[in-house]
């Protein structure tokens, strides 16, 4: 059985757990705990280790989805999770500009480690005051070749679209 | 929908960059304590700024500055009342009550001071209302101001590491020009020290090395580069480290290559979900 891995990262409360829950075939394995630091101002519970979801591609192939913990003190987990990943989705809470700097830090981290195919998903586009993908591209100063996609992590079609766009990027780098 | 936030988290210079690169038209309202300032943009360029405590027609401003008599101000206001869709600034020029260059000089100075004072704010709520236009009587400049110019001058007034470190975490970062820096430099006037740093940017030297070569302090070099960065002239990147190679000749840090057939299978599976 071959397994391939995609990583979903982003700042606290970007919607990583929800994203994986929406598409995973199994009950997502999360290690959520009551938030104990500044995070509790944003959400009551937060992911302290990782989320894990799974999609069976066939009898011999499985796609694993890993969500990284958002807090800075779990940086060391990012490196472990990124080992051997096929691609990376950076989720951004489009309604909270206070998380944009942290999002940039996360992108810098992953890109300094290896040249990984990635896309940015502008989550919570259904909320009032959501910054549009075009505005997020400027705010995060992303180059034009990086895809910034509208996303609602609670909607399956939206999550599928983000995954398919990432797979399109991966396809361009794959070999015959 | 308006864009809302706090400049503590998303700096004024970052927002100005977004307005410039996004060719935004609208009004950026900023408030902090009792102060409230509104900056109006047209296609990414600043056309006027108003402060809550000094929100007066352009004629009042010019009378106060001795550029217009009260009688001329009244004449312009009356003429303006019968002209739809024309700014009071335009009426003043149409009536030859003030030269275009003089009007630009006076209003630009007034507006720049309002904007530069904002760079001293450590926090403040902002709200950008897309498409919002100023009152026709507002002190609208004949020539809109390029935002890069404002960013550079605003950044000159930064005297703390905190804000700079958000974008430049350490002095081991390398500075490189973005693809078309010459095009971007047109609206910017550089001071002598800024030229010294600008001339040292080669995509190889770190900030620490630039500081050593120019004899300037690391803080001054970082502050200047922060200005270039915010104005969209340069980028700062980590200094490339040698990557260990595998026996196959492929760099260790490179993402694993996968076969197209495998990716196609995953695509088909997700499409079918």
Q: pLDDT per residue over B16-33, tens digit each?
A: 989 999 999 999 999 998
Are B46 and B40 in contact by the 8 Å Cβ rule? The answer is yes
Q: Which pLDDT value is given to residue B243?
A: 57
Cβ-Cβ contacts under 8 Å between A and B: the total is 105
176 residues of chain A, pLDDT tens digit each: 889 999 999 998 999 999 999 999 887 776 666 665 555 566 666 666 578 899 999 989 999 999 987 666 666 777 777 788 999 999 999 999 999 988 988 888 888 767 789 999 999 999 989 999 999 999 998 989 999 999 999 999 999 999 999 999 999 988 87
| pLDDT confidence of residue A32 | 62
Instruction: Confirm if B181 and B233 have CB atoms less than 8 A apart.
Output: yes
Tokens of B76: 């312009």
Domain co-membership, B246 together with B199:
yes
Contact between residue B52 and residue B156 where contact means Cβ atoms under 8 Å apart:
no
B171 plus B147 within the same structural domain? no
Nearest to B256 by CA among A25, A43, A37, A3: A3
**B129: enclosing H helix or E strand:** strand B125-130
Test the B interface: residue of A5, A101, A128 with most B CBs within 10 Å: A101
Q: Are residues B123 and B80 in the same domain?
A: yes
Q: Tens digit of pLDDT for each residue in B95-124?
A: 999 999 999 999 999 999 889 889 888 899
Give me the domain span that covers residue B121. Answer: 3-152
pLDDT(B145) > 90: yes
> Does the pLDDT at position B245 exceed 60?
no
Domain count of chain B?
A: 2
Choosing among B21, B232, B258, which should be mutated to test the A contact, i.e. which has the most A CBs within 10 A? Answer: B258
Measured at the CA of B101, the angle between CA B57 and CA B148, to 5 degrees, comes to: 85
Q: How far is B16 from chain A (nearest CA, A)?
A: 10
pLDDT at B152: 85
Q: Is the domain of B255 the same as that of B124?
A: no
CB within 8 Å: A61 and B262: yes
pLDDT score, position A48? 60
CATH code at position B215: 1.10.10.10
Q: What pLDDT sits at residue B120?
A: 82
* pLDDT over 70 at B242, yes or no: no
When CB atoms are compared, the residue of A97, A163, A170 closest to B10 is A97
Give the pairing of strands B234-238 and B173-177: antiparallel
Pair (B191, B144) in one structural domain: no
Q: Do B13 and B119 belong together in one domain?
A: yes
CA distances from B261 to A175, B244, B247 (A): 9, 29, 26
By residue range, what is the domain housing residue A69? Answer: 2-173
Q: Residue A130: its pLDDT value, please?
A: 95
Partner B contacted by A26 (CB < 8 A): no
Half-sphere exposure of B8 (CA within 13 A, CB side): 8
Answer yes or no: do B148 and B205 share one domain.
no
CATH number of the domain at A85, please: 3.40.50.300
Check A134 against B264: CB less than 8 A apart: no
Q: Are residues B119 and B204 in the same domain?
A: no
- Express as a percent the part of chain B with pLDDT over 70: 90
Over the stretch A5-19, which tens digit does the pLDDT of each residue have?
999 999 989 999 999
Q: What is the mean pLDDT of residues B32-57?
A: 93
Selected for mutation to probe chain B from A41, A57, A58 (highest B CB count within 10 Å) is: A57
Structure tokens, B184: 């971007």
- Dihedral Cα B12, B13, B15, B17, nearest 10 deg: 170
Give how many domains chain A has, as a whole number.
1
Domain boundary among B152, B177, B201: B152
What's residue A72's pLDDT?
67
pLDDT for residue B244 is more than 60 = no
User: Per-residue pLDDT tens for B147-198?
Assistant: 888 888 888 877 777 778 777 888 888 998 887 655 555 667 788 888 889 8
Of the three residues B121, B136, B152, the one that is the final residue of a domain is B152
Q: Which residue of chain B has the CA closest to A62?
A: B266
**B202, B115: one domain:** no
Per-residue pLDDT, averaged over B248-269, amounts to 77
How confident is the model at residue B66, as a pLDDT?
A: 94
Spatial distance between the Cα atoms of B163 and B151, rounded to a whole number of angstroms: 14
- At residue A79, φ and ψ (nearest 5 deg) are -65, -40
Domain identity same for B113 and B172: no
Number of helices and strands (H, E) in chain B? 12, 7
pTM above threshold 0.95: no
């Amino acid at each position: 059985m071959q397994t391939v891995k995609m990583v979903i990262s982003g700042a606290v409360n970007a919607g990583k757990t929800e994203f994986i829950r929406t598409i995973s075939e199994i009950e997502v394995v999360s290690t959520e705990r009551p938030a104990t630091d500044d995070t509790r101002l944003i959400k009551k519970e937060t992911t302290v280790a990782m989320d894990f979801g799974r999609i069976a591609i066939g009898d011999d192939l499985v796609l694993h989805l890993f969500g990284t913990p958002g807090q800075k003190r779990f940086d060391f987990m990012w490196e472990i999770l990124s080992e051997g990943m096929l691609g990376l989705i950076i989720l951004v809470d489009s309604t909270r500009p206070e998380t944009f700097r942290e999002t940039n830090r996360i992108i810098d981290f992953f890109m300094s480690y290896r040249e990984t195919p990635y896309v940015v998903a502008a989550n919570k586009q259904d909320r009032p005051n959501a910054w549009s993908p075009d505005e997020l591209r400027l705010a995060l100063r992303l180059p034009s070749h990086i895809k910034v996609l509208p996303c609602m992590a609670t909607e399956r079609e939206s999550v599928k679209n983000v995954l398919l766009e990432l797979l399109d990027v991966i396809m361009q780098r794959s070999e015959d | 929908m308006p864009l809302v936030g706090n400049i503590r988290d998303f700096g004024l210079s970052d927002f100005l960059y977004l307005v410039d690169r996004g060719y935004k038209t609208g009004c950026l309202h900023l408030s902090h304590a009792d102060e409230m300032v509104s900056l109006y943009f047209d296609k990414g360029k600043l056309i006027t700024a108003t402060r809550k405590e000094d929100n007066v027609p352009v004629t009042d401003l010019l009378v106060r500055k001795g550029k217009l008599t009260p009688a001329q101000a009244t004449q312009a206001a009356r003429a303006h009342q019968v002209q739809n869709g024309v700014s009071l600034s335009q009426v003043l020029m149409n009536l030859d009550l003030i030269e275009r260059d003089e009007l630009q000089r006076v209003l630009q100075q007034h507006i720049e001071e309002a904007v530069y004072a904002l760079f001293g704010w450590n926090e403040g709520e902002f709200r950008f209302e897309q498409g919002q236009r100023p009152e026709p009587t507002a002190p609208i400049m004949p020539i809109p101001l390029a935002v890069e110019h404002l960013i550079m001058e605003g950044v000159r007034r930064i005297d703390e590491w905190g804000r700079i470190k958000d974008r430049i975490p350490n002095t081991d970062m390398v500075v490189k020009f973005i693809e078309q820096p010459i095009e971007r430099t047109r609206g910017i006037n550089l001071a002598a020290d800024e030229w010294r740093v600008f001339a040292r940017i080669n995509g190889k030297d770190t900030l620490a090395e630039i500081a050593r070569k120019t004899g300037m302090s690391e803080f001054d070099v970082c502050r200047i580069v922060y200005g270039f960065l915010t104005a969209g002239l340069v980028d700062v990147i980590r200094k490339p480290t040698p990557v260990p190679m595998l026996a196959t000749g492929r760099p260790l840090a490179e993402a694993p290559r996968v076969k197209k057939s495998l990716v196609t299978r995953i695509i088909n599976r997700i499409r079918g979900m």
